[in-house]
Structure 1
Amino acid sequence: MKTRGFWRVLRRGAMGLAALLALGILVLVMDGYTAFGRRATGARRERMERSPQWKDGRFDNPQPLVNHYGEMLTSALQASPHTNPTEPLQVAPIDPARFRTPPPTGLRLTWLGHSTLLVELDGHRILTDPVWSERVSPYTWVGPTRWFAPPIALADLPPIDAVVISHDHYDHLDMGTVVALKDSKAVFIVPLGVGAHLESWGIPVERIVELDWWERTQVGGLEVVATPARHASGRQVLDKDATLWAGYALVGPKHRVFFSGDTGLFPAMADIGARLGPFDVTMIETGQYHRTWPDWHIGPEQAVLAHQMLRGKAMLPIHWALFGLAYHGWTEPAERVRAAAALASVPLLLPKPGQSLEPDAAQAESPWWPALSWETAEQHPILSTGMPVTATQPGSRP
């Protein structure tokens, strides 16, 4: 009888734990449901399935993404002691009056942190991967927190002509920011499938333009071309690679710039440079890398190599200095890209968050970040797989 009673109590305990777990999952789903977005259906889904990038029910990279899961877990125990600033970064607020005067050179870039930039190009204003929320997460109570407040309020931005979004990960597609821009006149230019998220958040369908790789659209006198990238997508467990990812070439009458989004190194970067370059500026992701996910993020040295493949003139590193998403020190991407650019004789733009630069008139500046310990390329190489030749020294070409 005692044994029977013991198993009865054990079963009830297990059932109770299962019920609590189910309740917890239900709460998480309900809390994040709106931010998860929506799946593409109907004509949008049919168009996705006609894409050359669509394979076996999802989008696919020509070069697979390699992950070393075991080392990924153990490397977390060896993370830099400087993955986040010890104190919030002090960033000077932007006076909106700055944007009342057009840039004399016709091209002005204002980096707002991570992958968010205001690009003023030949009379057009483009916002890239805008993130104004406190966290990059479907929830307001958990997830990576920004290191500084936005240098300018969304309401204080000048009129925006186009918002380009590279993919639907939370640090690039921020629901709160998208909803706040709902009543603007901006056109949202996104990869295939991402329009379903935007439409579910109230963006009018006539202001959404979805592009496959190499497709283009016109915004006034500006041409926006979606370019290949090597990455992934997904906003919850069951939607991996259900939408496409991309970079963008922004081509104006006099200037052209490249925005990488998130990417590993891949051969078609040379095709982008040949077909759409040369670029006055390349804005290439440089941070949030690790050798255990070598194809998801390109790393500083390969970013310089990509800049050369793209036929860029000046390079502005992005995807760093706002969120802690990797194991490296927060200043390491800047230190390593400076060293790599110097070896390759690549002109580098490293503005403070909120600083505006006109590449034709930009002057070299001293580092604005503190001097902290960091790992070199030799200590921690980032080498994307599947390349004809991998290069540990910047300046060489695959």
Structure 2
Amino acid sequence: MKRRSLLTVASAATVMTLGGVGYAAHRRGRNPYYRGPTSDHFDGLRFFLPEQATDKALSDVLRWQAKRQREPWPKSFPSPYPADRPPERVAGLRVVLIGHASYLVQVAGRNILIDPVFAKRASPVRFAGPKRVNPPGIAFADLPPIDAVLVTHNHYDHLDGPSLARIWQAHQPLIVAPLGNDTILRGYDDTMHVETRDWGQSVDLGDGLQVHLVPANHWSARGVNDRRMALWCAFVITSPRGVHYHVGDTGFGDGSLFSDIRARFGPPRLATLPIGAYEPRWFMHAQHVDPAEAVRAFALLGAEQALGHHWGTFQLTDEGVERPAEALTAALGGAGIAPGRFLALRPGQVWEV
């Protein structure tokens, strides 16, 4: 197999982790995940965000893979924080990064997991693809009782089916996901209780907590023929402890996504924002913010505090393992924002009110 003429197995698994990045099958067909009425962001087959084009041609993927200037990552990049052993419940707000984009949010007596990934690889296969370089910041056995799980979208670094099935079997939580993802999730355990919603809709978690699904400049796919056939989202959690805005993946676009959140919900108490997987910019800018754009989003939101994720655990793109944190520090300095207001979290690191 010639290295430059075909994708290696590992590179192919990386592409699949990002959901078949760049390859859009535009032929008409049947959506295997969702059947519903057309709308201003669903054409009957695929979902879309108006005026936000993220699709790339297969030739773009091949160009990226053939000409990659990938900065090597270490085989191990351990967190300076020990694995957290969270309390069973908290009355306030306590947030822990498990790794990559996986969080445990404990708020007002409820325990919520967001995009929980405990797998050794963010990949559709066990033998190839991005391998984690640090263990989860909370051991699975140390999870407190889980009341709800929020899934932003179906890429393999956010939707880890075997881990979600294991969480369901152990905790029986309510699972909230965008339209179409229930079909994918029940493929791992057909007894899962999955509540799906569209953008602009909400789920009541009880005790004054609600989770709202809002748009993101991103897309979805588990393979090469199902691009944008399941919806993707960001989440807003409203609770007695304030507004928490969480983004799994997004491009910056024109910035209106962030100003719209502020207009609808008010300035968030907390924003959890991605800061990694952004190089090369010509390929990634429409779907992944870089640290400077994350700082711009933080400013548009008017958030009191931000936490950065989506870096330092799985190498999905070309930047080095420490570059996102370094670039975030530089961007905060350039914007005159105190470094403590936007932290690049490491696995096991705790932030709490």
TM above 0.5, yes or no, is yes
User: Which residue among 38, 41, 64 is the counterpart of 1:72?
Assistant: 64
Evaluate the alpha carbon distance shift between residue 55 and residue 122 of structure 1 in structure 2; reply closer, same or farther with a 3 A threshold.
same
Alpha-carbon separation, structure 2, partners of 1:136 and 1:129: 12
Q: Which stretches in structure 1 are left out of the alignment for 5+ residues?
A: 1-24, 361-398
User: Which residue among 344, 349, 352 is the counterpart of 1:350?
Assistant: 344
Report the alpha carbon displacement of residue 56 of structure 1 after superposing the two structures with TM: 5.6
Aligned twin of 2:24:
none
User: Which residue among 287, 303, 311 is the counterpart of 1:312?
Assistant: 303
Offset from partner CA, 1:188-231 (integer Å, 9 cap, x none): 110110010112221535x2111111110101121000010011
5 Å-filtered alignment, 1:314-333, equals: 314-333=305-324
Aligned twin of 1:102:
90
The DSSP-based 3-state class of the residue aligned with 1:99 is coil
The aligned amino acid for 2:329 is R
Alpha-carbon separation, structure 2, partners of 1:120 and 1:341: 27
Aligned twin of 1:254:
241
Offset from partner CA, 1:259-313 (integer Å, 9 cap, x none): 1111101323211121023111111111000212210101111111111222211
Evaluate the alpha carbon distance shift between residue 89 and residue 95 of structure 1 in structure 2; reply closer, same or farther with a 3 A threshold.
closer
User: Which residue among 220, 235, 245 is the counterpart of 2:206?
Assistant: 220
Report the alpha carbon displacement of residue 152 of structure 1 after superposing the two structures with TM: 2.5
Aligned twin of 2:278:
289
Question: How high is the sequence identity, in percent, across the aligned residues?
Answer: 33
Please give the root-mean-square deviation of Cα atoms over the aligned residues, in Å. 2.7
The aligned amino acid for 2:313 is L
Mapped pair 1:299 → 2:293: no
Report the alpha carbon displacement of residue 93 of structure 1 after superposing the two structures with TM: 4.3
Alpha-carbon separation, structure 2, partners of 1:202 and 1:66: 31
Report the alpha carbon displacement of residue 67 of structure 1 after superposing the two structures with TM: 4.5
Q: Is the 8 A contact 2:151 2:158 kept in 1?
A: yes
User: Which residue among 178, 182, 203 is the counterpart of 2:168?
Assistant: 182
The aligned amino acid for 2:76 is E
Alpha-carbon separation, structure 1, partners of 2:318 and 2:125: 23
Report the alpha carbon displacement of residue 258 of structure 1 after superposing the two structures with TM: 0.8
Alpha-carbon separation, structure 2, partners of 1:112 and 1:177: 13
User: Which residue among 229, 233, 236 is the counterpart of 2:220?
Assistant: 233
The aligned amino acid for 2:119 is S
Aligned twin of 2:195:
209
Q: Is the 8 A contact 1:91 1:151 kept in 2?
A: no
The aligned amino acid for 1:182 is W
5 Å-filtered alignment, 1:363-382, equals: none
The aligned amino acid for 1:170 is Y
The DSSP-based 3-state class of the residue aligned with 2:269 is strand
Mapped pair 1:59 → 2:51: no
Aligned twin of 1:138:
124
Evaluate the alpha carbon distance shift between residue 339 and residue 90 of structure 1 in structure 2; reply closer, same or farther with a 3 A threshold.
closer
Aligned twin of 1:163:
149
Alpha-carbon separation, structure 2, partners of 1:224 and 1:50: 24
Q: Is the 8 A contact 1:286 1:319 kept in 2?
A: yes
The aligned amino acid for 1:232 is W
Evaluate the alpha carbon distance shift between residue 319 and residue 90 of structure 1 in structure 2; reply closer, same or farther with a 3 A threshold.
closer
The DSSP-based 3-state class of the residue aligned with 2:343 is coil
The DSSP-based 3-state class of the residue aligned with 2:183 is helix
Alpha-carbon separation, structure 1, partners of 2:236 and 2:222: 25
The aligned amino acid for 2:47 is F
Offset from partner CA, 1:215-264 (integer Å, 9 cap, x none): 10101121000010011111111111110110000110232211111110
Report the alpha carbon displacement of residue 95 of structure 1 after superposing the two structures with TM: 5.1
Alpha-carbon separation, structure 2, partners of 1:40 and 1:188: 22
The aligned amino acid for 1:350 is A
Mapped pair 1:334 → 2:325: yes
Evaluate the alpha carbon distance shift between residue 90 and residue 343 of structure 1 in structure 2; reply closer, same or farther with a 3 A threshold.
closer
Q: Which has the higher contact order (CA 8 A, sep 6+)?
A: 2
User: Which residue among 232, 237, 254 is the counterpart of 1:245?
Assistant: 232
Q: Which has the larger radius of gyration?
A: 1
TM-score (norm 2): 0.83
5 Å-filtered alignment, 1:40-51, equals: 45-47=34-36, 49-51=37-39
Report the alpha carbon displacement of residue 349 of structure 1 after superposing the two structures with TM: 2.2
Q: Is the 8 A contact 2:218 2:250 kept in 1?
A: yes
Aligned twin of 1:87:
76
Aligned twin of 1:8:
none
The structure richer in helix per residue is 1
User: Which residue among 230, 247, 251 is the counterpart of 1:264?
Assistant: 251
